[in-house]
């Protein structure tokens, strides 16, 4: 019973952003996702910047989250730094250990150009990604275990951070939210 109350509080605190993010979710098609060990990419330097969010890692494995529409996200395994600096808001920054980043497949090459990495087969990275996705995929743009496709230009990142734990940052041109799932706390919201 206590977990149902906690879940209701989380949903209520996310209601404006979740509604904005998934306002047409009922009519949106969903797609099964695939994570493949033979499609892992390794990077010496990886920098991602979109919607006031920057991720940087000096050594990372990137595992694409693929669906029928294309690559709609990645799992990033490796230590790095993040900075979310919304206009008019206080920056939120720190170190991360792993991340899941979701986006529209049409934005994939500008967000994370896979051609700049080295394609490898990595069973361990794929398996860790499957475990991570099974836990955090439900934080954003999903229907059950299937992917909903975010609008062009939007971003959602679930970061396992040193200071916050499980941190969700999601933004588009109108709305944004930073929610700390570990401490059940909204750190920033733009409606």
The CA distance from 183 to 191, in Å, is: 22
Q: How far apart are CA 152 and CA 77, in angstroms?
A: 25
Q: Would you state the pLDDT for residue 87? A: 87
The Cα–Cα gap between 21 and 70 comes to 20
Tell me which residue of 113, 94, 95 sits closest to 103, measured CA to CA. Answer: 113
Q: How far is CA 74 from CA 5, 24, 155, 186, in A?
A: 32, 23, 12, 24
Q: Compute the mean pLDDT over every residue in the chain, rounded to the nearest whole number.
A: 88
- Tens digit of pLDDT for each residue in 99-134? 999 999 999 999 999 999 999 999 999 999 999 999
Residue that has been written with the tokens 């499609």 in this structure: 39
Residue predicted with more confidence, 34 or 88: 34
Confidence (pLDDT) at 24: 53
Q: Quick one: CA dihedral 61, 67, 71, 74, positive or negative?
A: negative
């Amino acid at each position: 019973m206590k977990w149902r109350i906690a879940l209701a509080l989380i949903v209520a605190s996310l209601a404006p952003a979740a509604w904005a993010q998934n306002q047409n979710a009922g009519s949106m098609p969903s797609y099964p996702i695939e994570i493949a060990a033979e499609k892992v990419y390794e990077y010496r330097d990886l920098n991602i910047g979109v919607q006031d969010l920057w991720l940087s890692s000096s050594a990372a494995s990137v595992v694409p989250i693929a669906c029928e529409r294309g690559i709609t996200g990645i799992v990033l395994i490796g230590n790095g730094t993040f900075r979310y600096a919304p206009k008019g808001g206080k920056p939120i920054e720190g170190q991360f250990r792993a991340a899941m980043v979701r986006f529209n497949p049409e934005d994939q090459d500008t967000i994370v150009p896979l051609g700049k990495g080295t394609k490898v087969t990595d069973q361990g990275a794929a398996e860790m990604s499957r475990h991570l996705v099974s836990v955090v995929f439900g934080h954003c743009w999903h229907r059950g275990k299937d992917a909903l496709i975010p609008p062009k230009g939007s971003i959602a990142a679930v970061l396992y951070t040193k200071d916050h734990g499980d941190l969700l940052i999601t933004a588009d041109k109108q709305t944004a939210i930073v929610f700390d799932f570990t401490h059940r706390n909204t750190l920033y919201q733009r409606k």
